[in-house]
Amino acid sequence: MSLFVAAVCLLGLTGCDPAPAIYSPAPAPSITPIFKSDEEALAAAKEAYERYLDVTDRILKNADSDIGELASVLGGKQLEVEIEGAKDFRSKAWSAVGEVILKGGTLQQYDRFATAGRAIVVAYICEDVSGVDVLDSSGKSVVDVNRPATTLYEVVFDWQVESASLRISDRQRWSDRPC
């Protein structure tokens, strides 16, 4: 009998004892890169920069244009910097003639897994301002005669989910050498 009781107790204990848990980590979320390649990321950055040039050219040529339109192509600290610059430009009663041209661009980095609102593309962008003049209210040029025709900038682009496009969040002169 004691063997039977011992067997029942042994079976009872093993039947009540749960099997050790097997740890299965949750599957990692699948993140699909926004751009399929570096070339596609650079093309999108150039397109975003062209939109920026269109908006800034319009604002600097037409004193009645809405400075707030800069928010459609700029974000972060760059938006604040450019709004202040546009206000200063207008307070001097200056106007621009000609167009800034995007001469070229080179990808510095592309973060395939960046989240919205964060730097996803950084590129070197070359601007050609040789065809641009800035005039005061009397029509006299205020451009320095030694101004270089081209300038190289390092430009940071953030991904905007709402518009499914890039927006410039930082833009710094990269080099004083012509590009």
Do the beta carbons of residue 74 and residue 167 sit within 8 Å? yes
Q: Any idea which fold 34-175 has?
A: Nuclear Transport Factor 2; Chain: A, (3.10.450)
- State the pLDDT at residue 162: 81
Token representation of residue 25:
């980590």
Q: What does the alpha-carbon distance between residue 92 and residue 27 come to, in Å, rounded to a whole number?
A: 59
**pLDDT tens, 137-155?**
999 999 999 999 999 999 9
Q: What does the alpha-carbon distance between residue 38 and residue 120 come to, in Å, rounded to a whole number?
A: 11
Q: What is the DSSP letter of 164?
A: T
Do the beta carbons of residue 96 and residue 61 sit within 8 Å? yes
Do the beta carbons of residue 141 and residue 132 sit within 8 Å? no
- Provide the whole-model pTM: 0.80
